[in-house]
Amino acid sequence: MKIKTIHISNYRKFDNVKLNMEDNITVIAGANNSGKTSLVELFNSIFNNTRSKLCCDDFSIIECQKWSNSIYPIVYSAFTTGKPKEDVITDICKEVLSVTKSEEVALMPPIEVKIQVDYNGNEDDIRHFADYIMEFEPNNTSFYFIYRYALNVELFRKTLDNEYEKFLTRFIKLTRDENKEIDAIRIIKEMLVLLYANSCEETANFSDKAYKNIVAMDMSSFKSLFNYHNIMAGRNLDDESSDRTKILSKNMIDIASQEDDWKDLIKNLPDQIIQPIQDAKIQEKVRIASLDTLSETMEAISITNGGHAGNIVIDMNVTEEAVHSLLKSITCAKYQADDHYLSESSQGLGYSNLIYIHLQLEKFRKTIDPLIVNFFVIEEPEAHMHPQMQNVFSQYLINYYNREKGIQGVLTTHSHEVVRTASISQLRVLRQVSPFKCNTYDLREFQNSIASNKELLDFYDWFYTINFPDIIFADKIIMYEGDTERMLIKYILRSKEFELLRSQYVSFVQVGGAYAYNYKPIIEFLGIKSVLITDLDYDKDSSNIADVLISGTTNTTINKFSEIILDNPAPTVQVLYDWKEKSPLIVVGCICLAFQGKRDYYSRTLEEAMLARHYGVTALDVKLKKEWIEKRNKDKLKFVIPREGDECSIRTIVLHTSNRKTDFMYSVILNNLVDSMLPAYIKEALLWLTA
Amino acid sequence: MADSLKNCFLVNAPAGSGKTTQIKAMVKKCILENPRDNILCITYTNRAADELSRDVDAKNVFIGTIHSFLNSFMKSYFSHRDILDLYYEVYEDKIKQRIDNSGQDDHIMASNNKYKDKYSELDFETVKKNIEKISYNKSPFNTLYYGGLSHDDLISFSKNIFDHYPIISKRISSKYQFIFIDEYQDTMSDVLKIFYNSVAGSNVQLYLFGDRMQQIYKNYDGSFEEQFECFDTTQALLTNYRSVTDVVLLLNNIYNDSPFNQDNSPEMKLLSADFQPRIVITDNISTSIDDIKKSDSNTLVLYLFNKERFSDIGALNLYQAFDCMEKYSFGKTYSAVNVLTTHYDDNPDPLMKLLYCLVEMVDNYQTQKYGLIVQTFKSYKSIFCEDGWYIKTHSDKQRLFNILKEIFDVFQDESKTISELLTVLERNSIVDSVYMEGVQSDDENKEAFNVPVIELIRVVKYLRNPKVSTQHGVKGESHDSVLFVADDSYKNPIVHMYRFFEMWGQLSISLKEFHQFYYDYINELSDLQNTIGMKISELKKDSFVKHEKVICEKISSILDQFRCNPYFEFICKERYRQFLVKPGVTKAKDCLKESSVFGVLSAYKLFYVGCSRARKNLTILMDQSKIKGDFEPQKNKFTEIGFKIE
């Protein structure tokens, strides 16, 4: 039995999110604050019997606000009519339930989780699920459940009844004290939301595959269909650091005690242990050492009481539980390094963490019930590990789940290494798309969408291990051609205009114009705002403007974009210039394509554009070498002026500087010339990215 | 009046007074306020227990029928030596009689032989030796040789135990701090006494809920009247949530007992009827019914006779098949109507239990809530067989689908009979084979097998939303418009409606006085029967001669005792006078007939309950030819209490 999909609505930032689950392991990757923890907390509420239920913080903030705004005036007027308590409550309840009012929100949409559980038609035993059959189609091998957290009207009435006085006092105060009105209203609204949430209850249902034909079921029956466990690798060790040394050892004993022959093994231990204790006359020792003196005191007290308090005697008994805890306290996991044994605590947190996770998994494995869904969630296993260890360990975990057919797992992570170890189809990316909204991106779907394109598949296969994690965790992406661009951009981003961008996770991806286009599918799939800074790269032999204008570009990416937007797969420079004149920013989907335009002095690379702008000449204009040397010395710029000939153009200079581009960029930055040299196409693109 | 007890409450809850809601609220309040106390709640049916349990979920509350309570409470004593001895003491004669089988009953003979086969001997001592514990056998009959107690005997024998061992009785009052009993008027006096004796003198609060007017069974025999007098009756439910003002006023007038006067709820006060409650007198009952139904198609017609009712439902064949069964004939625990109108949870008839259970599933099948069907199979393990429905694999699932299709296709076809349905069930081994065998081998069921399944669907549909009913149909049903067809019946059920109307024209009737008279009167009659050692109805000429003196003395003492009782004067006196004029067996039997009083009393209750079922519009249909005596005073009476005569 495996969970196929989990479709979440109206939960915190998950307005409407569908999570497709892999049979073995699903890796949920997301940056901080992308909703990973929320997701796991939801799983805890739904599948776990012991964890806390949902509460008021779990409703969408936007919905809470909408509701409290719409209900506030109603509640206000009900409370200020001066009617008796019962009538006020009845009036409010009536209003809350009058869903007929067109636009006003009388009820918050319930938190709803639709769960599809699939079984293997050839192997799986579905006896525990038979009670929830709703589809008899021969090809259907699924069961459908709906978990809901919604308002119970009766409860609402009762809670309101209980808290009536509290509300009444607030409202009375509010009508008298007009100065603090705004704050008081806010507090009452918060109270209302709390009242609403406290009046909600969870319900479980099963349904047909359209989730339309719905039948209620017991919450406990629902939960009994899932064997769920989760570990928060990061927190557990932090919280219990004082006793961290024992965690591993204790777990080992716990696991062993679940083996069938454990009982037999320790059966005789109690008797065997008590014997030497008795032989050693320990009991007597204890008695003499403490009791005898105690007895005197007791006797004295007893006399003053005028009664008899009874004697304290010692009885020693070794039970199986006692043996169990003895074993726990004497078992020490140690690390062997060459000939030395190191205690648990001698190793770093990461190492302990790793073993801890492994032990928990083993413990869980013993509880696998093939008749229900066995679902194990590990939150951020990378905690406390250095990257190499993350890599090896996540590899181990993924293999574990792949091998252990009975367990369905989820790993949540914000580690690049963990993402690299997973395969693309196992990844689900969580991204915050607006302050109150999260989305998931199913990379199996992405992979399927490019399945027909062999070239692209190969590309992603390779690229996956290199740049991929950078992209999926990024808020924004800047794609650039070479190191000099990167240096320049990093420098520019320090200025005030780009402050906002600096607070976000901007990923820098180095890619040439020949391949940049391949990134388009994944960037668009994830909807990440990106800038692609590339070069016009027209035919470098064009020696005059006329030639330049009729020449094409060798930049595949520019050609592809032109094909999409202009329907012209081989545009001339003239065409490209016109395009840029018409729309200074070329934006396709969420990608802004930046390259040199007409205003960049007919330059075809970044360096050309910078020099041309600085000196106010085109890249093709020829000047005396002497002049160039003068300028270079004056600006302390580092570029190479060719030895041959008396005169040269910026083009020739840049050509000769190609081995020393980095020095050139250093000199620009160190001499504070960035402002006067920065080409417009870069600045505009970065401003667009910031906005 | 005796001093009222501080801890015993009698909550009078007339029709429409929200009794169930009230009990639920009280139980919930108890749980909240006294979380450490134990609460016992005795309901009349399993369904009522389920209904109550649905909203009440606490470990310290026991909700169930008296049988489920006694069974679980007494179980631990049932293997106790002293209790076994008590059992032998109580049942010795009956066991011996059965062993002797002097009547040469084939059935008993077979069962005796079976016992001999098993234990090689059959005598009282062997039976005694072999019984290790007694138990509740959940059937209408004792299984004497095995210590099996029937429905009735579980109660009577428990009562016996409580009487002999007050310590066990004490255990009830020490375990439960609150005891609620629903439908007290239909609760056997043994049960009432068990709890009453147990809580007497303790702090345990005992609440009885119900309404005398709604007494529909003869379970209660009148032997608890004295104790009732001591109950605190101040908590009567005096709001009627069901009917409009006109109807409530009318009901108060019929009840004629001011402490029980109801007021209707504010919601109902806002509504008004289409017409004032009316009496329609006709010389053609059936045309008048049709006319009224035509003018308001949503009218619930209350018949006195079931035959008319079931024919109206479209299930006459089903009714007739069950009505002619010996096991549901007059005097038996259940009647055909009980069997046909009882939800499958409580249905005492194995065939109907199975069939109704399936009919309930038809809806789930049609709305494709298949999971619920599987759940029903699962929860009725004694009826359904795992081989048929149990699902482990995907192919099991497909197989079950085919079976369900086959079964529920039968219900789609109007020509299919119950017998054909049973064949399908049997072929798919969906029903437990022993259960099926029991249903099919019962010769009395044969007639029912030929009934079309469509009649089952009609009855179940009707039970969910009744358009016709009999006057003593299921309690609690109500309807916007009710048409009460006044009728007489001299056999089961015994109802003398027109005689009641006649009496009503002359007397002011109240339930309390009438009941008092009835219990006092039958007390005298049973006293006489005990003296002469036979039933009055069995008197023959020679036996009359033999007991003439005693009978004549009794008759004059009754005459003397009830000299000024208006009920006696009206109903009985003339016959007594006739007897005195010329004593003889026929006249004696005639004047000592219990039914002449019972018929009028039950007419009174039926009339009240019938009227109470109208939410808004109430019509009483009277047959011109059946009206007794002078109609003028009756007419005045009807007008006086709020009817309009048409």
What would the pLDDT profile of B602-618 be if each residue is shown by its tens digit?
A: 999 999 988 998 999 99
pLDDT at B1: 40
Helices (H), A404-482: 416-421, 443-449, 454-466, 468-472
B362 to chain A, closest Cα gap in Å: 15
Residue B619 has pLDDT above 90, yes or no: yes
Q: Which residues of B touch A126 (CB under 8 A)?
A: 391-394, 396-397
Q: Is the peptide bond before B493 cis (omega within 30 degrees of 0)?
A: yes
Distance CA A89, CA A156 (A): 10
What token pair was written down for A613?
């702008």
**pLDDT digits 0-9 by tens, A40-94:** 999 999 998 665 678 888 888 888 888 888 888 888 888 888 888 888 888 888 8
CA neighbours within 13 Å on the CB side: how many for A397?
A: 38
Tell me the C-alpha distance between A591 and B490, whole Å: 95
Chain B residues close to A208, C-beta within 8 Å:
368
pLDDT reported for residue A322: 75
| Res A132: pLDDT | 95
**Cβ atoms of residues A199 and A108 within 8 Å:** no
B392 vs A141: CB contact, 8 Å cut-off?
Answer: no
On the question of pLDDT at A150 being above 80, the answer is yes
pLDDT at residue A101 in the model: 46
Classify strands A200-207 and A214-217 as parallel, antiparallel or unpaired.
antiparallel
Cβ contacts (< 8 Å) between A132 and chain B: which residues?
A: 371
Residue-wise pLDDT for B288-322, tens only, equals: 988 998 888 888 888 887 888 888 888 999 999 99
Distance from CA of A208 to the nearest CA of B (A): 8
Predicted confidence (pLDDT) at residue B2 exceeds the cutoff of 60: no
Greater confidence, B29 or A294?
B29
Nearest to A502 by CA among A686, A288, A272, A321: A686
Q: How far is CA B207 from the centre of its chain?
A: 20
**pLDDT tens, residue by residue, A454-474:** 988 888 887 777 788 888 999
Rounded-to-integer distance, Cα A180 and Cα A191, Å: 17
A-chain residues near B390 (CB < 8 A): 127, 130
Residue A172 has pLDDT above 90, yes or no: no
The phi and psi torsions of A375 (rounded to 5 degrees) equal -130, 115
Residue A339 has pLDDT above 70, yes or no: no
Q: Write down the pLDDT at residue B326.
A: 87
**Average confidence (pLDDT) over B624-635:** 93
pLDDT at residue B130 greater than cutoff 80: yes
Q: How far is CA B318 from CA A43, A490, B325, in A?
A: 54, 90, 11
DSSP secondary structure letter of residue B328: G
pLDDT one-digit tens code per residue, B389-421: 899 999 999 999 999 999 999 999 989 999 999
User: Is the ipTM here above 0.85?
Assistant: no
Q: Are A130 and B374 inside 8 Å of each other by CB? A: yes
Q: What is the mean pLDDT of residues B14-35?
A: 86
Q: How confident is the model at residue A553 (pLDDT cuts 50, 70, 90)?
A: very high
pLDDT given for residue A241 in this prediction: 40
Q: Which of B375, B393, B398 lies nearest to residue A131, judging by beta carbons?
A: B375
Residue A389 has pLDDT above 90, yes or no: no
Q: How many CB atoms lie within 10 A of CB A663?
A: 15
C-beta neighbour count of A643 within 10 angstroms = 7
Average pLDDT over residues B223-241: 87
What pLDDT is attached to residue A234? Answer: 60
Compute the radius of gyration of chain B from its Cα atoms. Answer: 27
Nearest CA in chain B to A127: B392
**Residues of B whose CB is below 8 A from A122:** 394
Q: How many CB atoms lie within 10 A of CB B126?
A: 16
Pick from A124, A134, A138: CB nearest B370:
A134
Cβ distance A635 to A660 under 8 Å?
no
Contact at CB, B397 and A125, closer than 8 angstroms? no
Using CA coordinates, name the residue in chain B closest to A131: B371
Is the CB of residue B366 less than 8 Å away from at least one CB of chain A? no
Tell me the torsion sign for CA atoms A145, A148, A153, A156.
positive
Whole-number pLDDT of residue B642:
93
Minimal C-alpha gap between B562 and chain A (Å): 53
pTM of the shown model: 0.71
Place A242 in a pLDDT band, splitting at 50, 70 and 90: very low
Considering CB atoms only, which of B370, B392, B393 is closest to A133? B370
Long-range pairs of B133-138 with CB within 8 A, sequence gap ≥ 24: B133/B78, B133/B79, B133/B84, B134/B78, B134/B79, B134/B83, B134/B84, B134/B87, B135/B75, B135/B78, B136/B67, B136/B70, B136/B71, B138/B67
Closest-CA residue of B relative to A137 is B398
Chain A residue with CA closest to B390: the answer is A127
Question: How far, CA to CA in Å, does B322 sit from each of A195, A395, B315, B459, B473?
Answer: 56, 73, 11, 13, 17
* B368 Cα to chain A: minimum distance (Å): 6
Work out the average pLDDT over A196-207. Answer: 91
Q: What percent of chain B has pLDDT over 90?
A: 45
Termini Cα distance of chain A: 47
Task: For chain A, say whether B372 makes contact (Cβ under 8 Å).
Answer: yes
Q: Which residues touch A304 (CB under 8 Å, ≥6 apart)?
A: none
B401 at A interface, C-beta within 8 A:
yes
Per-residue pLDDT tens for A469-486?
Answer: 888 999 999 999 888 999
Nearest CA in chain B to A124: B393
Structure confidence by residue, pLDDT tens digits, A297-325: 666 656 555 555 555 566 667 777 777 77
**Contacts of residue B378 in chain A, CB cutoff 8 Å?**
131
Residue contact A133–B392, C-beta within 8 A: no
Q: Which residues of B touch A136 (CB under 8 A)?
A: 370, 397-398, 401
Would you state the pLDDT for residue B137? 84
CA distance B464 to chain A (A): 20
CB atoms near residue A582 (< 10 Å)? 8
- What angle is formed at CA B421 by the lines to CA B415 and CA B426, rounded to 5 degrees? 155
Pairing of the two strands A529-533 and A591-594:
parallel
Chain A residue nearest residue B369, CA to CA: A134
Cβ pairs bridging A and B (under 8 Å)? 51
- Tell me the pLDDT band of A625, cut-offs 50, 70 and 90: very high
Q: Which residues of A touch B (CB under 8 A)?
A: 119, 121-122, 124-127, 130-136, 138, 141, 206, 208, 213, 215
Q: A505 — phi, psi (to 5°)?
A: -85, 100
